Structure 1
Amino acid sequence: MSRDEHNISRRDISENALKVLYRLNKSGYDAYLVGGGVRDILLGEHPKDFDIATNATPEQIKKLFRNCRLIGRRFRLAHIVFGRDIIEVATFRGHHANQDKAEKRGGKQHHSKQSEHGMLLRDNIYGSIEEDAERRDFTINALYYSTRDFKVYDFANGLEDIERRKIRLIGDPETRYREDPVRMLRAIRFATKLDMDIAKDTAKPIRELAPLMANIPAARMFEEYMKLFLSGKALANFQLLADFQLLEYLYPHISKTYADNPIDKSIDFVRQVLINTDKRINDGKRVTPAFLLAAVLWYEIEQQSQQLQKKSGMPPQDAFFVAMNQVLSEQQRSIAIPKRFQLPMKDIFALQHRLTRREGSRAFKTLEHPRFRAGYDFLLYRGMVEGGELEELANWWTSFQDASPDTKQQMIKSFKTSRKRRRSPRKRSQSAAKE
């Protein structure tokens, strides 16, 4: 597409990305804005990231930019760092059949490696722009924009799929999913993000190949969790993941519950939190991964805690903390949750018990807890789902927060009085039994 046939302008591209493109071109290399940056501008969106593809090798790129760092074993990439802004630059990928030719010419060994399942473990075979386009995952991501001639180059009918609003893999879907099973998650994420449908041939193998997700490292799965659930489309992604039988590889506990009973209170609770997460993100407010992960695990922790109390006679508090550590440990096998998020999760869990205790100075101390707001919000959603006494407790804390000092003291006294009244019939029955 020539300049007058598309809507991409250099005004839509970040200044730092343009600097990288210009320097690569000036140094005699081919360089293109590629993938999501091109796709989103064509769709009238504002891209968050601007990725670049070039025929320069990572080592050649590093020589051109002092602010460059090379990362990755599986995919060798160059990151050009401008403060907080990072421009990712990748060398054109080639086909794996090219490895034999490279080795005959004295090239380095083991540039490419696949697992027994067909997954790419190492992929540093370089090629032409045409080969690079064929190696990309989806047709809508095989679009290249040049600042030399201002043309858009489409190698896989991506423009047509944008027009038809289809998410379609390049090449044989089963082969491409085996190369990188995370493409199944990406298909879902792009479909919800861009309001498109997954093409039939692209969707067909997903359920059958879903078990391949078990081979993905937990650290990489956490990155995918962040993209799926902190992008403003969490609820839609949750539903599609469940439909395609992929949810268990992110949330094993809630996935089992969903399969047995999709209207269970734990599923309703997660949905409420997902709705709120989407709303906050779309309103430009901050969210933490800890809150959603805590919601996913809460009812499993409660269930295991009750089982421990019944089986071993363990005190409730001890049983709860043992269950919490067990469930967190089990979740870590699927998603490697960093410690900076585990600690807030544990605080949210512990606060659910602290919020039930309102005697004396306890309510005031709980109110001063640094994560009180997160714990209180968590309680609110639980109250919405369960109703009854839990909803009453959440409403009490809602009133208590904004009350005057005198009113707060009166609320605590009223709570003590009502508690004594509830206990008194039990005491009378106990004394009658002794007589």
Structure 2
Amino acid sequence: MATIFKAKDGLLSRFKSLTWSQRFSHSLQPQFSREMSSSSLNYKVDVSKWRKVNAKTLGINSSVIPLPSWIVLKILRNKGFQSYLVGGCVRDLVLNKIPKDYDVITTANLKQVRRQFHRCEIVGRRFPICRVHIKDSVIEVSSFETVAKHAEGKEEILLSQAPHGCDEKDLIRWRNSMHRDFTINSLFYDPFLNIIYDYTNGMTDLRSLKLRTLIPAYLSFKEDCARILRGLRIAARLGMSFSKDTETAIRDLSSSVEKLDKSRKMMELNYMMSYGAAETSVCLLRRYKLLKFFLPFHEAYLDEQASETTVHNSMMLMKMLFNLDKLVSCDRPADCILWVGLLAFHQALVSNPQDAFVIWVFASVLYNGKWEEGVKFAREHAKDQVNFVPEISGFSEIESDEELAAKVTELASLVQDCVNGFSNETNSYMVFISKKIGADVCQIFDVLVNSIEIYDKRRKSFMIDYYLLGKGHIPETRFVLGKIILKTISGGHAGGEREVDEEKNGKWLLDSVEKSCHPRPSDLAKNEFLSKKNRKHSLANSDMEANLERTKKKKLAGKNHSLSELEPNMNNQDEVPKEESNQKGKEHQNVAESFQLAKEDTRITQENIPEKKDCHSSLEEVISKKINKLKDVVNEKKSSPRPLSSLFR
């Protein structure tokens, strides 16, 4: 609750700058209500409140847009089409949140969009969109035309109710906004003018952190029951509350979610679990009687726990989801195999409670990547302080490594059995998990089932590689899963031999290692790419450097001759004590090194001179100045000694 109040206070300060003067001069706002009738929808349009808001007043400008999305927007605009950011990304920018993705909408049709980009395909049947590949990113581009064609009957009603004298661009945006799910998702952002367009009172709902359907909630959820899950996901991540009619409709129509196909269920649940809002999402699913359609086993567990204790956070499942949320976010998501593996692990513990020390070793080996190191850490740090019921059966440190290996292997096998049950059609647990995902999750625990005592994949880095984690990389997922379990059973503390204990500083043991570890694998790949790019650049300039090198050698011959002429003058100086003589010898060596610096300065000067004639004259001037300074300092050495390095400043 405290988080929600803080968020509201922050939003109020961001919205203070919004005034009546920011409304459209033509005073148009389709704040309308739709009422269901037996044969049609009756639209009542209130033409008073269309708004355009200067995004700068909310701290938003085009610099926040990632480069791939910006490229798509700019190419479409340069080709004469209107292009905007739309939907959830605009909502998140207004709330000062990091968007999950950046969706683009344009006045071009999908075929026109596809012609503008080399790597672009049209996907989807009911609501086709273009997927544009820019570098390593995929940008989803929709068309105003697609939405209009999809709901031709509604379009006729909308056009009949359109305000007279309305600007054509406003009309296009308004018509599109009428087909969206929630008011806060119907905002358009024009990064070229830095203006946010609001046609549905979405900014007002954002200010009050209220989630409201654009049309009556019953009608909206009957049109697409997946909007119920989308609403819960948004509320969980942003700390929003539902309007009264929206909440009532969710409760009354929650059973319709069961009819969704498996892929849609998986997609929606993954959005809830992999982007930093797993704990709150599970709480909301349970509150609105929806958890049974996704996680029936865990719903029964939570119901039983709630009936036995009033301390919500004592539940092991919720603790693990909390620690999962601490590690992932919208800009650092995980692949679904992480949370599926976590749920399978928890289900195995509830079905077959385990000794706390066995769990310590299980998680330590996953985290450290080596059997011996995991066992050693568990023996040094495991304590009888875990109080999770029914998951933990007790604590008894097992002396024999052979017996310990057998028990850890047994636990890993139990987890794999739970994973296989998820994708089994005859099982009532999470049947929307595909066999491919189930097989990938089982791979996480294979190392604890097969030859566990010789397992040795010790990590070189304790930093999470979020690129690999998002791609479902098995070793990276295994490491993060072990980390979450260790943090849960240790009360937030976990680590390995190479980690520094920072409890005195109030930090988790893992955090210190992640800040000082080796580069991540994906970073090394990027560095290799940059290195290759620099080598190509060097090759491109090699011809010019070869020409300059020939000129440089001629001049350096003359310079060396001048240097040899100076040596007798230096040797003919009055005799000096031995110590001072040694000092002069060092200074002479510095002279030679300094001439090497002069040589480098000359090379840099040459590279910046466009013509050979100018290059020769400038080179002579530089060498002459250096030699004259050297003569002066040798002659004045006795009277005013100074470091020779000052010659080349």
Structure 1 contact 166–197 (Cα < 8 Å) conserved: yes
Count matched residues.
350
Matches for 1:11-410 after TM superposition, within 5 Å: 11-92=63-144, 93-94=147-148, 98=152, 128-147=172-191, 149-262=193-306, 268-281=315-328, 287=334, 289-298=336-345, 300=347, 325-329=420-424, 330=427, 334-337=431-434, 339-340=436-437, 342-345=439-442, 347-348=444-445, 351=448, 364-366=453-455, 380=486, 402=497
Return the alpha-carbon distance in structure 2 between the equivalents of residues 204 and 251 of structure 1.
23
Give per-residue Cα distances to partners, 1:286-314, cap 9 Å, x unaligned.
755334323323465577789xxxxxxxx
Separation of aligned partners in 2, 1:342 and 1:195: 35
> Corresponding residue for 1:431?
none
Q: Which amino acid aligns with 1:251?
A: L
Letter paired with 1:94 = A
In structure 1, give the amino acid aligned to 2:274.
Answer: L
Relative to structure 2, which stretch is displaced further, 55-64 or 375-384? 375-384
Question: How far apart in 2 are the matches of 1:206 and 1:97?
Answer: 24
Shift of 1:90: 0.7
- RMSD (Å), alpha carbons: 4.0
Q: Within 2, Cα distance between the matches of 1:130 and 1:284?
A: 30
> Normalising by the residue count of structure 1, what TM-score does the alignment of the two structures yield?
0.68
Rounded Cα–Cα distance in structure 2 between residues aligned with 1:153 and 1:284: 25
> More deviation in 44-53 or 3-12?
3-12
Gaps of 5+ in 2: 1-51, 157-170, 354-409, 459-474, 499-649
CA deviation profile, 1:161-190 (whole Å, cap 9, x unmatched): 111111111001112112222211211221
**Cα distance in 1, alignment partners of residues 279 and 285 from structure 2:** 10
SS of equivalent to 1:169: coil
> How far apart are the structure 2 equivalents of 1:226 and 1:367?
31
Listed one character per residue, the Cα deviations across residues 143-163 of structure 1 (whole Å, up to 9, x for unaligned) are 112245432210110111111
Shift of 1:282: 5.7
Offset of 1:277 from its aligned partner?
0.3
For structure 1, which runs of at least 5 residues remain unmatched after alignment? 103-126, 307-315, 355-361, 386-394, 404-435
| 1:15 CA displacement | 3.0
Change (3 A) 1:349 1:289: farther
* Superposed displacement of residue 239, structure 1: 0.6
Kindly state the Cα deviation for residue 252 of structure 1 after the two structures are TM-superposed: 2.2
The CA distance in 2 between the partners of 1:8 and 1:29, in whole Å, is: 23
Q: Aligned ranges for residues 420-431 of structure 1 at < 5 Å? A: none
Compare CA radii of gyration and give the structure with the larger one.
2
Normalised by the size of structure 2, how large is the TM-score? 0.47
Amino acid at match of 2:343: V
Are 1:52 and 1:87, in contact at CA under 8 Å, matched by a contact in 2? yes
CA distance in 2, matches of 1:188, 1:101: 29
Deviations, residues 70-109 of structure 1 (Å, cap 9, x unaligned):
111121001121021222111122376515999xxxxxxx
Secondary structure in 2 matching 1:339: helix
Q: Is the 8 A contact 2:132 2:138 kept in 1?
A: yes
**Matched residue of 1:191: which SS?**
helix
